[in-house]
Amino acid sequence: MKKINSRRNFIKTIAIATTASMVSCKTMTTSKYNKAKVVVVGGGFSGATLVKYLRMWSNFALNVTLIEPNDNFVSCPFSNLVIAGFRNIKDITHSYSAIKNKYGVNIVKDKVSDVDFAQKKVKTLSGQIISYDKLVFSTGIDFDYNNLGSLSSSEMQNQIMHSWKAGNQTTRLANQIQSMKDGEVFGISIPKSPYRCPPGPYERISLIADYFKKQKPKSKVIVLDANEKIQSKGAIFSKAWKQLYPGIIEYNTNAELIDVIVQGKKVTAITDFDQIKLDVLNAIPNQTAAQIVLKSGLKLINKKWAEVKWLDLESTNIPDVHISGDSLFPAPGMPKSGTMANQHAKVIAAALLDKIAGREINQNPVVMNTCYSFVANDSVVHVASVHQYNAEKKQLLKVNGAGGLSKARNQLEVSHANAWAENIWSDIFS
């Protein structure tokens, strides 16, 4: 118990220190906060964190609006456990009620359809016009089906789940897997990097293999990875698969999905080199920033991700517009993860409050990341990193020697992973 408690205390101490470095004197009430309007688009890990902290750190003086179409937030982290039947969707679903009622955020249940940067106004699908002084896109990802043949049709997308946005597709894929007969074959395609949560597909593979091992021992998982190798925690995943799931997982590299054929209840996954017969296919498409970000006129990198100034995550070409979370192009070694999205939000919250109050923003922001991955329902690994702003390179760069990777999968970190989830959900939604 001493090891667990000491580790938790260490994590809490580091988190408090990092937050304190962002906050400084942000909680001082100023009349300037009462006059400013901040609009945040998207209520995921980053957007929901941001609106809460803007209200808290301004002593509830700042006018904050969240535009979010969903009634509840469903967490992508831990959704793989739901897909594999080890958790329930209710376990990862959280209400926005505290953000609205406790923190006083104005929530508009809608989607943004257009933005007028010159007039500082956003338009929603329902026709509402909302003005802002500062605008933040925390809009997550969208999917690029352009090179996936028949999967570009909405009809096919309704049959072949990606389940890379947690919610309805999470439960639908779980139902497909649980309905499989023993001996049937599950396939998963992984897009080229970068994509949301680099270890996520490999965790999903592991957990489904764990489910098969226990419930359908004759079934197999066939992996079609468009990348040359496992993108995160590769040595640990490879070793775990050999030790835990021999004969269950077939892993193929440089196997990019280019088309799908559905005939009755059977699916054929087509790559450049092969055609694979499957009973269930989980096709994770290539990913981009949300469409509203792509079409808005913000400067992009690779025509897919928003470019930001890393000191405050402001757009490089549109003033008073910031981007956080998965829609931005990551700094070197920075994953698209829930923890990092939460950290982005706090950097932006601190910077916005400084700017609105007429103070100099923090010139040395520091953010941390921790990603836990289940290689089995009772075995977990983690990777952690610290990223500090480098004024010369104008980047958030990894701090050498900080963070680290689990030496091996272990049962002890199951409790750490569960604690991480409860802590970050509480940090956002309580």
pLDDT digits (tens, 9 = 90+) for 200-218: 999 999 999 999 999 999 9
For position 1, what pLDDT does the model report? 36
**174 touches 74 (CB < 8 A):** no
For position 30, what pLDDT does the model report? 65
**369 touches 70 (CB < 8 A):** no
**Sign (positive or negative) of CA dihedral 409, 410, 412, 415:** positive
**61 touches 36 (CB < 8 A):** no
For position 3, what pLDDT does the model report? 38
Cα gap 89→83, rounded to integer Å:
9
Considering the four listed CATH numbers 1.10.300.10, 3.50.50.60, 1.20.140.10, 3.30.10.20, the one that applies to the domain covering 145-285 is: 3.50.50.60
For position 133, what pLDDT does the model report? 98
Cα gap 53→106, rounded to integer Å:
14
Query: Cβ atoms within 10 A of the Cβ of 351, count?
Result: 23
Cα gap 383→261, rounded to integer Å:
37
Query: Which residues, given as ranges, of the chain have pLDDT below 70?
Result: 1-30
pLDDT digits (tens, 9 = 90+) for 93-116: 999 999 999 999 999 999 999 999
- The helix (run of H) or strand (run of E) holding residue 244 is helix 234-244
Give the per-residue SS3 of 315-384.
Answer: ECCCCCEEECHHHECCCCCCCCCHHHHHHHHHHHHHHHHHHHHCCCCCCCCEEEEEEEEEEECCEEEEEE
- As a CATH number, domain 2-140+290-429 is 3.50.50.60
**415 touches 4 (CB < 8 A):** yes
Q: Is 145-285 in the same CATH topology as 2-140+290-429?
A: yes
For position 31, what pLDDT does the model report? 75
What are the boundaries of each domain within the chain?
Answer: 2-140+290-429, 145-285
For position 347, what pLDDT does the model report? 98
Q: What is the pTM of this model?
A: 0.92
For position 11, what pLDDT does the model report? 43
For position 265, what pLDDT does the model report? 87
